[in-house]
Amino acid sequence: MGDDRRQILDLLAGGKITADEAERLILAVEKSAAGSGAAASEPGGTATGTTPRPKYLRVLVEGDEQITGMKGGTTVNVRVPMRLLRAGVRLAGLIPVQAHQQLDQAFTQHGVPITLSQIKPENLEEIIDQLDDLTVDVDGKDGNPMKVRVFCE
């Protein structure tokens, strides 16, 4: 067992960190170890051992005349830097506490049971980090030719 893991388990045993924190730390250690191994084996590996991270989120929407009412097919193509998403999620941390309850109620009414006070900026950062591998393809059915594609590049 590595020294890092032993230290984490010691911290857990000493009650200095929670089980959840210990799990995250161990995962981070494993990820770091795997990354350094990959960097050593791959000539093109980066200094941190990870593949180049996507820089942009792309959203493509295609619709035809029936949907848009405009002549010919319509395509909307948006490219947003991931940095902008990261900055944007920080806005959630600026929502006044007194507005949380109203927002929670509104979310629940619309079928999204979210408690805003439980969402921390670091949680949102994790979501953004996981977007790297995101690809969403939506094709219309039953004669609806709308296509939506969301991916990172």
Partner 1 sequence: MIPWGASVRVHWNRGTPREHRLGLWVPLFLVWLILLPLLLVLFPLIALGCVFIGVDAVELYETAWRIVSSLPRTWVEVKTGEFWVWVHLA
Residues forming the site for partner 1 (CB under 8 A): 56, 65, 68, 70-81, 83-84, 86-88, 90-91, 93-94, 96-98
Q: Is 9 within 8 Å of 22 (Cβ atoms)?
A: yes
Identity of the residue, 28 or 80, whose beta carbon is nearer to partner 1 in the bound complex: 80
| Cα three-residue angle 18-118-94, rounded to 5 degrees | 125
Minimum CB separation of residue 94 from partner 1 in Å reads 5
Q: What is d(CA 60, CA 78) in angstroms, rounded to the nearest whole number?
A: 7
Minimum CB separation of residue 15 from partner 1 in Å reads 32
Minimum CB separation of residue 125 from partner 1 in Å reads 13
- Strand runs (DSSP E) across 15-145, as ranges? 56-63, 74-81, 135-139
Identity of the residue, 142 or 153, whose beta carbon is nearer to partner 1 in the bound complex: 153
Identity of the residue, 18 or 75, whose beta carbon is nearer to partner 1 in the bound complex: 75
Q: What is d(CA 68, CA 75) in angstroms, rounded to the nearest whole number?
A: 10
8 Cα distance to chain centroid:
26
Query: Bridge-partner residues for 57, per DSSP?
Result: 80, 152
Minimum CB separation of residue 45 from partner 1 in Å reads 26
Identity of the residue, 77 or 105, whose beta carbon is nearer to partner 1 in the bound complex: 77
Identity of the residue, 50 or 68, whose beta carbon is nearer to partner 1 in the bound complex: 68
Q: What is d(CA 140, CA 129) in angstroms, rounded to the nearest whole number?
A: 29
Minimum CB separation of residue 74 from partner 1 in Å reads 5
